Amino acid sequence: MDLVIYNTLSRKKEVFKPINEHHVGMYVCGPTVYGDGHLGHARPAITFDTLYRYLMHLGYKVRYVRNITDVGHLEHDADEGEDKIAKKARLEQLEPMEVVQYYTLRYHHAMERLNVLPPSIEPHASGHIIEQIEFVKKILDAGYAYESEGSVYFDVEKYNAKHHYGKLSGRNIDELLETTRELDGQTEKRRSIDFALWKKAAPEHIMHWPSPWSEGFPGWHLECSTMGTKYLGETFDIHGGGMDLMFPHHECEIAQSVAALGHESVHYWMHNNMITINGQKMGKSLGNFITLDQFFTGNHPSLNQAFSPMTIRFFILQAHYRSTVDFSNDALAASEKGLQRLFEAYGRLMRLTPAENSSVDVKGLRERCEEAMCDDLNTPIVISHLFDSAKAINLVADGKETINAEDLKELQNTWKLMVEEILGLKSEEGSSSVNEAYHQAVDLLLNIRMEAKKNKDWATSDKIRDELAKIGFVVKDKKDGFEWSL
């Protein structure tokens, strides 16, 4: 089965063919570390984590690079204003790298709770200043940039005369020239759409490095072109990120690579859609800016309750990554219930005992799930296949249907693969090994009780049942054994 993914650049689904048969290079724009780890960070992390997991499942060796933007910069215009990390550090008298470390650790902690696997390489922009300066030199040598008062700008108009600036986001330069205003203090740029490759640092700017042009710092778009090609080669397979980064960030990355290297670097551009909260865009000024920690603790005025990391992950995977996702208390509560049902069925499946014959048709689940994953990572369809299969599992568990050993093994393996390894969902009762040990311990007690009943040792049998009931276990006796739930 071929993996098909939607390539933003060609605007169509394409069969994924890596440059090297066995290796995949994947770059995803990571977080800017200032500010709190918020919900917006969760979606690209989970989307590309799922892709990472699936590529490895298909047998590829994947080098996954996800950067940390720690050279400050404003979110939408890297050219202006004081670097946010620098500002916070100046106000609180911290080393800038203290601020970076604080947010990086918080981000990692949130990612771990969301069961997002760490990337293979997590480069910091601040650790690649020399490489970025070299990249600027290449663009200058190629004639696509100019120096102005200690800063270096990319000459968009000159680039566009030969190449298409705006090809990724489907814009053209005339429309961009019309919509970009000239801003005060930007007179050193030739055109409003030119973007900074290197910026001379203002005196209050405390993060700066020496360069041939000035004491300054690199433009935001540059770090991804530089670090992507440094670790994955001049051309590599996949570049991902949120849709909000398509313009100008990724557009500028393409222009920088073409200017410096003479060709584009990326074969497949992939973008996850955005998250809204109660139908609104998320933003600090709208008062609906909720951090991941606030979701996990429920500590925010617009949340009715806490939502666990796995509920957040499941909720995000219930939508296709290219559709929007709207967060609301009701939708999250529904996901919480759905996830619970999924794990109940999973738990029952792992405890089923096989019969001689199968009366349920459980074949083909794995193929159907793989088909959905291969169709541009259609995780909501995978989840619906699992819920369909949960119906059969529940019927067998209730004694209404039977399943033979071979079908049971296949079903258990498919659930484990899809639920845990590919969707990256885990039971929140504890780690799976603890969970397993706990189930085995309860089973052990109930087997001792069966022995006792056989020996007419009613005292022991009743004691085990009553004590388990006190803790909250419901034990049902069955013809050939028992069933329990908590």
Residues that bind Zn ion (CB under 5 A): 29, 224
Burial class of residue 3, CB neighbours in 10 A (0-12, 13-18, 19+): buried
Name the minimum Å distance from CB 69 to Zn ion. 7
* Residue 208 or 271 having the CB closest to Zn ion: 271
* Residue 272 or 461 having the CB closest to Zn ion: 272
Name the minimum Å distance from CB 250 to Zn ion. 7
Choose among 81, 83, 79: nearest CA to 33. 83
Name the minimum Å distance from CB 22 to Zn ion. 26
* Residue 224 or 316 having the CB closest to Zn ion: 224
Name the minimum Å distance from CB 4 to Zn ion. 25
Name the minimum Å distance from CB 312 to Zn ion. 23
Name the minimum Å distance from CB 224 to Zn ion. 3
- Say how far apart CA 352 and CA 341 lie, in whole Å: 16
* Residue 121 or 206 having the CB closest to Zn ion: 121
* Residue 224 or 277 having the CB closest to Zn ion: 224
* Residue 43 or 385 having the CB closest to Zn ion: 43
* Residue 257 or 311 having the CB closest to Zn ion: 257
Choose among 283, 220, 273: nearest CA to 251. 220
